[in-house]
Amino acid sequence: MMTQVFPVIQGFVVFCVMIVLILMLLRLLANYTDPNPFGTIGRLFYRIKKITDRFVYPVSRAMASMRLDTRLAPLIVIFGFIVAGYFLIQFFSDLFVMIDGVAMNIVAGSIAKIAGHILYGLLSIYSLMIVLRIIMSWIGNPSGKFVRFLIRLTEPVLGPFRRMIPMIGPFDISPIVVIFIFRFLQMAVAAVLLA
């Protein structure tokens, strides 16, 4: 039943990623063409720059600290949104499979499969919280309530990994490692409890 709603959500996520893609490609074009700021195209590119600054500026700042060409920051933002869109689509897919699986197995009376679907879904939800924390650390207010909520929930798992895994320049890769470990755990849960 819930899997019928999934294509609508998937389409919405793809639509949002496509809008970001178009805006960032236009900004990238503006970065390299440097249009007349008083012309029609220049004013359009200026509006696009104002709209996209909250996403591009943190990436540009990080690139500048590594002495990279900051004009390429929109490309990094595009890839970031594509990855975030992937995890969001994966999250909803796993969530709906969990809800449908629990509902079907309650009727069938299979305790192992109910536990498997719940574990699988919880790992997906926690992975999404980690991805949201990464995204919000780039674009959100670090002292905001939602960001503090995400930090409070994800830090017990991320903290030990952060201490074990060294940073690569200014980038903390421990969330990526944790997400891959969670994906492996999901595969193990699916193989053992949902087979």
Give DSSP secondary structure letters for 68-135.
--GGGHHHHHHHHHHHHHHHHHHHHHHHHHHHHHHHHHHHHT-HHHHHHHHHHHHHHHHHHHHHHHHH
Identify the pLDDT of residue 80: 83
Identify the pLDDT of residue 1: 60
Identify the pLDDT of residue 3: 67
Residue 168 DSSP SS3: strand
With a threshold of 0.75, does the pTM exceed it?
Answer: no
- Give the angle subtended at the CA of 134 by the CAs of 171 and 138, to the nearest 5°: 80
Identify the pLDDT of residue 93: 83
Identify the pLDDT of residue 2: 65
- Give the angle subtended at the CA of 169 by the CAs of 166 and 174, to the nearest 5°: 40
Residue 58 burial (C-beta neighbours within 10 Å; 0-12, 13-18, 19+): middle
Question: pLDDT in tens for each of the 195 residues of the chain?
Answer: 666 788 899 999 999 999 999 999 988 888 778 777 788 888 888 888 888 888 888 888 878 888 888 888 888 888 888 888 887 888 788 788 888 888 888 988 889 999 999 998 899 889 888 888 887 776 656 677 888 888 899 999 999 999 898 888 777 888 889 999 999 999 999 899 887
Token pair 């780039």 is found at: 138
Identify the pLDDT of residue 189: 92
CA distance 61 to 68: 10
Identify the pLDDT of residue 154: 92
CA distance 44 to 24: 13
Sign of CA dihedral 180, 182, 17, 52: negative
Chain centroid, CA 131 distance in Å: 4
